[in-house]
Amino acid sequence: MGNGRYEAVVATFIGLLALVVSAYTAWVQRQQVRAQVMPILQYGTSNAPHLEVGVDNKGVGPALIKHVVVTVDGQPMSQWSDVLQKLLGPGKHPFSESDVGHLILAPNETVHMLKPGDDKGEPLKPGPPGSAGALFNEGRHHIAVEICYCSTLGDCWILYGGDRMAERRDEVRRCPSRSERTFTQ
């Protein structure tokens, strides 16, 4: 092998090595930026000081909510009034809600998705056995959510929470399209 060929092989090897190092550096930087804008949604229900269902962003970046499914005992619901009918029985049940279907949830922000009310429209509190408050207080544990959300970089996850199951987040390529299971509020 001549001197020129040897130098060409070494130069090619050094060029390829520089390319690999550059690609690895870019990948590490992307992971660092990804961690700096990662949202982490958390689902929860509460009975103090009043009954409610909500979602928090515990991450460091905004959560772009793209798709929501709400179920009661595994049965998809299309709106909060359906959830209340299922848990409290037939009739008109006052409530206040926040539309989370296409919300941008800032870091450390909480959205109260549902606050059931009493006959006067006041937030419902746990009450004596058989009351609407007692029924919802027990029933809130039967509500489950699937919330698909993305970071500002386009990384997406589905939060599975509620219905007495362990909460989990699965990374997905993209959020599901609207279907008969989609919660419309």
The predicted pLDDT at position 33 comes to 65
At a CB cut-off of 8 Å and minimum separation 6, what does 153 contact? 33, 34, 37
Whether 138 and 124 have beta carbons less than 8 Å apart is answered as no
Count Cα neighbours of 32 within 13 Å in the Cβ-side half-sphere. Answer: 6
The predicted pLDDT at position 168 comes to 96
Q: What string of H, E and C letters represents the secondary structure of the chain?
A: CCHHHHHHHHHHHHHHHHHHHHHHHHHHHHHHHHHHCCCCEEEEEECCCCCEEEEEECCCCCEEEEEEEEEECCEEECCHHHHHHHHHCCCCCCEEECCCCCCEECCCCEEEEEEEECCCCCECCCCCCCCHHHHHHHHHHHEEEEEEEECCCCCEEEEEEECCEEEEEEEECCCCCCCCCCCCC
The predicted pLDDT at position 11 comes to 82
pTM of the model: 0.83
The predicted pLDDT at position 180 comes to 92
At a CB cut-off of 8 Å and minimum separation 6, what does 180 contact? 76
Per-residue pLDDT tens, the chain, 185 aa: give them.
567 788 888 888 888 888 888 888 777 777 776 667 899 999 999 998 999 999 999 999 999 999 999 999 999 999 999 999 999 999 888 999 988 888 999 999 999 999 999 888 889 999 899 899 999 999 999 999 999 999 999 999 999 999 888 999 999 999 999 999 999 87
The predicted pLDDT at position 6 comes to 82
Query: Which among 145, 151, 143 has a CA at the least distance from the CA of 171?
Result: 151
The predicted pLDDT at position 16 comes to 87
